[in-house]
Homo-oligomer: A and B are copies of this chain.
């Protein structure tokens, strides 16, 4: 397995873990804008797509690049939503790292 694939799997699992924890623990505890429909759904979407993208890369699926492309889009949107809230920079960083890694996979520079 290539280094880049390995890095991207780890970035997806890290981002999954961060978004899942924020959606299930941090955001409901803080309340207010943190539980507004668009933000909370985006956190859940991002957790889901990161977990699925990690799975297809672990499987060494010939379709992982297409899925990484979708994953990068969701991570970018989720990072933006986290940045706007002010106290979610760590989650935003996990999303941005995952987006960058998935964008490289989607661009076909790795396998």
Measuring CB to CB, which residues of chain A are less than 8 angstroms from any residue of chain B? Answer: 9, 13, 17, 20-21, 23-25, 28-29, 31, 35-37, 40-41, 44-45, 48-49, 51-52, 54-56, 58-61, 63, 66-67, 69-70, 73-74, 77
Contacts and interface: CB of A to CB of B under 8 A. Distances in A.
A58 B51 CA distance: 13
Contacts of A13: 13, 17
Contacts of A29: 37
B52 A48 contact: yes
B35 A31 contact: yes
Number of copies of this chain that the complex holds: 4
A41 B55 contact: no
B48 A28 contact: no
